[in-house]
Amino acid sequence: MKKKKKEEKKKEWYEKFRWFFTSSGKLVIGGKNAEQNEKIINEMLEDNDVVLHTKARGSPFCVIKV
């Protein structure tokens, strides 16, 4: 009996971060570590996006993609 190969779903660009969609359909991404936080702020941020961050040590930057 032949084994079926699993179809690999192509990952979206945001799936390497912490992410979810709001109830209104907006994408929210957050870093898993300091390196990802830097990448989000320096490379992924666009003019109308909303940035969230706390003063708590180790907290991620979160961006609401508008």
pLDDT tens readout for residues 5-28: 777 889 999 999 999 999 999 999
Three-class secondary structure of residue 35 per DSSP: helix
Closest by CA position to 28, among listed 3, 6, 55, 60: 60
pLDDT beyond 70 at 29 = yes
Let me know: does 30 contact 65? Beta carbons within 8 Å.
no
Using DSSP, state whether 9 is helix, strand or coil. Answer: coil
Q: How confident is the prediction for the chain on average, in pLDDT?
A: 92
What CA–CA distance (Å, rounded) separates 58 from 48? 25
Mean pLDDT for the stretch of residues 19-43: 96
Residue 19: both structure tokens together: 């992410």
pLDDT at 2 over 70: no
pLDDT, residue 43, reads 95
Residue 60 pLDDT more than 70?
Answer: yes
pLDDT of residue 37: 93
